[in-house]
Amino acid sequence: PAATAVAKNVYAVLDLYGRITAVSIVSS
């Protein structure tokens, strides 16, 4: 079976205080 390509996108998530956390959005 063909492998499903899974791509991870990393977004910088900001809060109101300017702090940034990285979030990985996994898409196929």
Q: Tell me which residues touch other proteins (CB under 8 A).
A: 9-16, 18, 20, 23, 25, 27
| Comparison of 4 and 9: residue with beta carbon closer to other proteins | 9
| Comparison of 2 and 12: residue with beta carbon closer to other proteins | 12
Give just the sign of the alpha carbon dihedral 14, 25, 7, 21: positive
Rounded least distance, CB 4 to other proteins, Å: 15
Q: Tell me the chain's radius of gyration from C-alpha atoms.
A: 14
Report the greatest alpha carbon distance in the chain.
47
| Comparison of 2 and 5: residue with beta carbon closer to other proteins | 5
